Amino acid sequence: MPSLLTKQPKFSYKCNYFLFFSIVIFLVFLVNLMDLKKPIKLMKYSFDKSLGKITHQISKGLGKKLVKKFTDYNYNINSLEWTAISYLYYNKESNQKEIGEFISENKVRTKRIIDDLEKQGYVKRNISQKDKRKNTVELTHRGEELYLTLAPLAEKTLKEAYSDLSKKEIDQCLNTLNKIQQKLNNE
């Protein structure tokens, strides 16, 4: 996740499928452990039950499943590239720093991802009208078509992963997630 001390880009659940679903699964687990109306008491740390471990494993698992689906359909896109494409689809024009914060990668790795997407014709860099020293990044027509082609595969991957959850469980998780996100953003 991006640093809590930096300004966060606009969040879209459709944009970052992996992070969103990782947190949904965690919240289902959390909701089952406690009554949300009672204040949370300090819990003893357990690596096996830690948020970081659980969300990391879920995110990696979802990423592998999604990349496999993409590969099955002859698309050579990794999960970070997919997340960047999704982000740009919903945030039409961004800079490299905003993309890096969203995908939680450093400047060098973010530049490589954007370079690879640009070589494939999915994104283009433009000189910013506001500041000629900066570039903005946006999806090309080909990048938008790719997003629209792959989004149903991403949706299918998520549906498969949470097929055993009820709508109520998912809604409860989303509400709890929003509260956690607001609290973290306000600290």
In a domain, 12, yes or no: no
In a domain, 2, yes or no: no
Domain that includes residue 157, residue range = 17-186
For 116-130, b/e burial (b = at least 16 CB within 10 A) is: bbeeeebbbeeeeee
In a domain, 26, yes or no: yes
In a domain, 10, yes or no: no
Pair 87, 94: CB distance under 8 Å? yes
Say yes or no to pLDDT of 29 above 60.
no
The DSSP secondary-structure symbol of 120 reads T
Residue 21 pLDDT class (50, 70, 90 cuts): low
Residue 184 pLDDT class (50, 70, 90 cuts): confident
Angle at which helices 79-90 and 51-72 cross, to 10°:
90
Q: Stretch 80-109: mean pLDDT, rounded?
A: 92
Q: Stretch 71-98: mean pLDDT, rounded?
A: 92
Please report the pLDDT score of residue 3 as a whole number.
43
Residue 109 pLDDT class (50, 70, 90 cuts): very high
Tokens representing 159 are 């549906």
Domains: count for the chain = 1
**What is the CATH number for 25?**
1.10.10.10
In a domain, 112, yes or no: yes
pLDDT in tens, 158-183: 889 888 989 898 788 778 767 876 87
